[in-house]
Structure 1
């Protein structure tokens, strides 16, 4: 799964990486948790890209309210084409969710060990995501979810699931609203994790209120 991640890359670097012409405004964070607005890259009708901030926890259009949105922070790749919660969004509202690392917890005999997984070159990357517009009366909510899949070999010792990372060369094909959905689905099975590396970090990150560089420091470098 993916329930916590980091994005501290500056806006100028993100704009260049994602080829967004307009200003990118977001709240940088070392410890991003669900139920807050997060940065998304979406495609407009003219084919250009726009950076928007959407609520993390997808609310399907048919929901009576937004109470269960926290339960839909992730969408399983294996079922996104069939599940009512994600089916329409997968066809029409695919997005990229910028990050520069994410956290996962490995079960160990004496508890859980947190890891920060990031690119070896420390550059930003993107999760494959879906977004949705929910409206009830005068209330409108734009929300999103991160797609997950079975863990690659690199991640299997840490956790059985992992978020899907979209390779840079596939950004346009993933965002393309006119793309064949079967072709879009094939993009989710890729080798992006070959460029990733996991490092152990302290339990400082366990508290979502902690938001500083201590969340991503290698454990051996922490001062005790």
Structure 2
């Protein structure tokens, strides 16, 4: 699964990297982004023919939901079956998005303890998770809630010892098709939902302070003093 990540790149860098315009509030840096928080997401607007960087809440609320209480269980969507599962199939067809990130966190179980690690690619970043988004209208207030989920797949060789799942990381040459800017068949879209090459990833141990969502500061992304890098750049 993917339940915590960092997206601290400034809005100006996100705009340049993803060729997007900012809609809504400019994103603040997050060093410990967590479910149910509002975070930056890239979507394509077909009418304006532009990519937009917008704030959406993490935890998908399907359009047919009676209420948003199940969002915390919808932070991830497994690549296996995402095109068919009722909660995700409509978004998979029509509402795909990119979720910018600089690194993500995962915990390795070792001798009864959980050791947090940061994981990133060896690109100049920021990078993008494959995501889906939805709009849900509150029947009581008529207000819209826009939410997203991150798609996960099997872990690669660099991360498998930490966790058996990892988020789908899309390289830039797949962004246009995933966003719907160009034609892509369901089979072509599903073929994108694979693990990122392990030889192009970096993994390092970080402070246990990342375990609390109350902590959100720059040093969380730093290597722990006692930590040992795995596959360092």
- TM-score range (shorter-chain normalised) is over 0.9
* Contact 1:166–1:192, Cα closer than 8 Å, also in 2: no
* Contact 1:167–1:190, Cα closer than 8 Å, also in 2: no
After TM superposition, the structure 1 = structure 2 runs for residues 1-224 of structure 1, keeping only pairs within 5 Å, are 1-22=1-22, 25-46=26-47, 47-121=49-123, 123-137=125-139, 138-176=142-180, 178-189=183-194, 191-220=196-225
* Contact 2:153–2:195, Cα closer than 8 Å, also in 1: no
What residue ranges of structure 2 are gaps of 5+ in the alignment?
228-233
User: Structure 1-normalised TM-score?
Assistant: 0.93
Q: CA deviation at 1:196?
A: 1.6
* Contact 1:5–1:99, Cα closer than 8 Å, also in 2: yes
Distance in 2 between the 1:118 and 1:150 partners?
16
What residue ranges of structure 1 are gaps of 5+ in the alignment?
none
Aligned partner of residue 131 in structure 1, secondary structure:
strand
Distance in 2 between the 1:189 and 1:60 partners?
24
RMSD: 1.7
Distance in 2 between the 1:78 and 1:52 partners?
27
User: Match of 2:231?
Assistant: none
Distance in 2 between the 1:147 and 1:191 partners?
13
Deviates more, 1:184-193 or 1:141-150: 184-193
- Output one character per residue of 1:98-118: Cα deviation in whole Å (capped at 9) or x when no partner: 000000000000401000001
* Contact 1:167–1:192, Cα closer than 8 Å, also in 2: no
User: Structure 2-normalised TM-score?
Assistant: 0.90
